[in-house]
């Protein structure tokens, strides 16, 4: 098997914050481990505040991790400086959540797409080459070459997100981190952008880390899924086995809340009790235990082990009491 494009091992990120007059530590990432292969889409799901965006910023070296390791194509980006770090940033790009805020309103579409080349000067050095490549990129994402003269205010939300994708593609990246890229768009426009991302992946071979809280979107685009809760990955596996046979109680609760037009896929909704614990003071042992209907005393005393699904050895969850697919859900 070939080496993964991205390897993350035991990654941690801690922020010092002041809470009620006291200095505390917020452990936003706590032991994150996963791989991302070339040309695949890895879906990252979880509630707001679980650490998804912090993970994205850490992978891009916008935040420096406090522990663990990241290897991109076999190289540790934490050790890169100067030109080498600049070369790494060219290979890893990002599409942001809000197409209204992520574009400079005072720049034309052509200038927005070509802006990365002012930093990465080895690409498209002449104005003629840049203009030609801008037209190619706009066409690639479904916009017209003449749109290069327009400003963001002249585009719809979906068109702005296409423009953001064109900007991310300008440096020919191998990995694009998509942080909630369709959550600000109408449903019909979401489908257009998702189909575009899929077409670009088929054509260019780019890999995606697709961050979302919308399970129906993730099921549509992802090859594999990781589920986060309070800074930890609690379950990971291929998309279909994770959706059809979720092991972790938290994943079960998420899946039960996802709407579906297919009656055979609908689950009785699981209503979790209690509030999400504060990341400043997470529960001992399993972080989900305070909301889990299966929790026992041992869940409070130790971190749960990684338990594999007997039917899928690539599907596993951090849980003392993983769910059997034949079990009834709680009422």
302 by Cβ neighbours in 10 Å (0-12 / 13-18 / 19+) ranks as exposed
Q: Which tokens in the block code for residue 222? A: 């992802």
Write down the pLDDT at residue 308: 87
Mean pLDDT for all residues in the chain: 89
Reply yes or no on whether the pLDDT at 227 is more than 70. Answer: yes
Q: What stretches of 180-328 show up as alpha helix (H) in DSSP?
A: 187-204, 215-221, 239-244, 249-257, 298-301
Q: How confident is the model at residue 262 (pLDDT cuts 50, 70, 90)?
A: low
Residue 276: count other Cβ atoms within 10 Å of its Cβ.
17
With DSSP H G I counted as helix, E B as strand and the rest as coil, what are the percentages for the chain, rounded to 5?
A: 35, 25, 40
Closest-CA residue to 272 (of 45, 47, 49): 47
Classify 74 in phi/psi space as left (phi over 0), alpha (psi -120 to 50) or beta. Answer: left
Residue 259: count other Cβ atoms within 10 Å of its Cβ.
7
- The mean pLDDT of 95-121, rounded to a whole number, is 90
pLDDT tens for residues 306-329?
888 887 888 999 999 998 744 544
Q: Which tokens in the block code for residue 161? A: 């997100």
Closest-CA residue to 35 (of 6, 75, 78): 6
pTM of the prediction?
Answer: 0.90
Closest-CA residue to 38 (of 224, 219, 205): 205
Write down the pLDDT at residue 139: 94
CA distance linking residue 112 with residue 78, whole number of Å: 28
Q: How confident is the model at residue 259 (pLDDT cuts 50, 70, 90)?
A: low
pLDDT tens for residues 230-240?
999 999 999 99
CA distance linking residue 212 with residue 183, whole number of Å: 8
Write down the pLDDT at residue 326: 43
- The mean pLDDT of 187-200, rounded to a whole number, is 91
CA distance linking residue 298 with residue 68, whole number of Å: 27
**Contact between residue 321 and residue 286 where contact means Cβ atoms under 8 Å apart:** no
Q: How confident is the model at residue 125 (pLDDT cuts 50, 70, 90)?
A: low
């Amino acid at each position: 098997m070939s080496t993964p494009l991205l390897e993350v091992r035991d990654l941690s990120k801690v922020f010092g914050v002041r809470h009620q007059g006291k200095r505390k530590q917020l452990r936003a990432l706590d032991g994150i481990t996963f791989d991302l292969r070339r040309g695949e889409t890895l879906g990252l799901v979880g509630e707001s505040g679980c650490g998804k965006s912090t993970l994205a910023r850490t992978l891009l070296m916008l935040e420096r991790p406090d522990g663990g390791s990241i290897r991109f194509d076999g190289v540790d980006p934490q050790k890169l400086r100067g030109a080498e770090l600049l070369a790494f940033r060219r290979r890893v790009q990002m599409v942001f959540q809000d197409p209204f805020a992520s574009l400079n309103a005072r720049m034309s579409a052509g200038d927005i797409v070509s802006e990365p080349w002012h930093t990465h000067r080895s690409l498209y050095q002449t104005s003629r080459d840049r203009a030609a490549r801008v037209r190619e990129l706009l066409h690639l994402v479904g916009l017209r070459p003449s749109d290069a003269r327009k400003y963001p205010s002249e585009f719809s939300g979906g068109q702005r997100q296409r423009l953001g994708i064109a900007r991310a593609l300008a440096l020919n990246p191998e990995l694009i981190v998509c942080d909630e890229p369709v959550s600000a768009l109408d449903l019909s426009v979401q489908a257009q952008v998702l189909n575009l991302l899929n077409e670009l992946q088929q054509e260019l071979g780019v890999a995606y880390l697709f961050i979302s809280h919308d399970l129906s979107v993730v099921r549509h685009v992802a090859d594999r899924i990781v589920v986060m809760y309070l800074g930890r990955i609690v379950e990971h596996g291929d998309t279909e086995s994770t959706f059809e046979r979720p092991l972790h109680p938290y994943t079960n609760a998420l899946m039960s809340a996802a709407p579906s037009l297919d009656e055979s896929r609908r689950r009785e909704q699981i209503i979790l009790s209690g509030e999400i614990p504060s990341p400043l003071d997470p529960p001992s042992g399993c972080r989900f235990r305070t909301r889990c209907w299966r929790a026992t005393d041992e869940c409070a005393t130790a971190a749960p082990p990684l338990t594999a699904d007997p039917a899928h050895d690539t599907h596993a969850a951090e849980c003392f009491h993983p769910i059997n697919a034949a079990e009834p859900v709680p009422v």
